[in-house]
Amino acid sequence: MNKKNVTFSDIAAYTNFSKTTISRYFNNPDSLTEENQKIIADALTALDYKENKVARILANGKTEFIGIIIPSLFFRFFSEMLDKILGTYETYGYKFLVFLGDEKKEAEEKYLQELLAYKIEGLIIMSHTISSGELASYHVPVVAIEREAEHIFSVETDNYKGAFEAAQILSEDGCQALFHINSFPDEQEPDYKRITGFCDCAQKSGLPYRVLRENFGFEYEDTHSKLKRMFEEIEKEYPDKRKGVFISNDTHANIFMNIVLRYGRRVPEDYEIIGFDDSPASREAIIPFTTVGQDTKRLAEAAMELLVRQIEARKKRHADQELQPEHRVVEPAVIRRESTLNLVQHKTQEEK
């Protein structure tokens, strides 16, 4: 049986409203009273109306698409963030177009042009290659997550606080030398605050400490090789000391711990290890490890809230009256697991 598609004319006839009023319901519902909105909504249900999305896009230019550019899925943090962002569909009704940038500026600029061609209504960006100044120049609502964001809206974890607390745990647990493993983030990037937070706490503790840096990339074999060299360097410099290692992400922390165990060292007796993210890697490891938890659900919700606010503001303002960027910070939470242990307290408890 063929069923006739319900048109605006059918809805108008059913409700005794004009077709212009019906059009306003779909394109600018706030221009109608709540009573009239309910009358039309009830009519849509009664008539079993199925919206023609393509026709609506052609009519008002609103696609309900949001673009996402992430650097890679190698780090579990990004896949966790993507999952939480996609999960906001039920709340906001936006669909998502996702590109993996692989930290290649030329490719990411191409992807950005592709997204703009699809008339996206907003952009969420987690990669680092395109500056916030350049992103702002496109005059599309945008929110950055955990990256440089001087000229655009952003959401990030309190990276300094999380790193400071991680180093504090290592020093209070009786580690005799402290290490932080990271890449080479710019000072404007949130990840740089993990370095400064660690160094400030380590310096305050009076313990010997070092920051080990390397350009890791997104390949497992290369990352493993570089972390292995760092382990060997630490072993050579402090062979007989209990070492505390804070690593800038859970993916690398998991690889580093496997190296430590493979070389016959004990966790946490010889090495205490703390990661950053609270991604599944920290819980699924051979020895579940302590980590600085990033609340990916709150980060995603905050990012969508800031993005939708910009989108709604653009509907009511001219393009040259955009909102001033807001930078929101989410509190971290250190999650203790088996890779850290205060040996002094542990021995005292055993004696009791």
Could you tell me if 22 and 76 lie in one domain? no
The secondary structure of residue 324, as a DSSP letter, is P
Full domain range(s) for residue 95: 65-157+296-331
For residue range 322-336, what is the model confidence (pLDDT) as tens digits?
Answer: 689 999 999 999 999
Residues 340 and 327 in one domain: no
Q: Is residue 2 part of a domain?
A: no
Using CA atoms, how far apart are residues 99 and 72, in angstroms rounded to an integer? 9
User: Are 109 and 134 contained in the same domain?
Assistant: yes
Task: Check residue 348 and give its pLDDT.
Answer: 47
Give the number of domains in the chain: 3
CATH number at residue 33: 1.10.260
Please report which helix (H) or strand (E) contains residue 24, including its range: helix 19-27
Strands 290-293 and 333-335: antiparallel
Contacts of 314 (CB under 8 A, 6+ apart): 141, 322
User: Does residue 306 share a domain with residue 248?
Assistant: no
Q: Are residues 205 and 257 in the same domain?
A: yes
The reply to whether 144 falls in a domain is: yes
Dist. CA 316–CA 319, nearest whole Å: 9
Question: What pLDDT is recorded for position 58?
Answer: 47
Buried b (16+ CB within 10 A) or exposed e, 169-204: bbbebbbebbbbbbbebeeebbbbbbbebbbebbee
Residue 64: pLDDT band by 50, 70, 90 thresholds? confident
* 75 in the same domain as 140: yes
Same domain, 217 and 342: yes
Q: The domain spanning residue 189 has which CATH number?
A: 3.40.50.2300
219 and 346 share one domain? yes
In a domain, 3, yes or no: no
Structural domain contains residue 82: yes
For the stretch 102-143, pLDDT in tens is 888 999 999 999 999 888 999 999 999 999 999 999 999 999
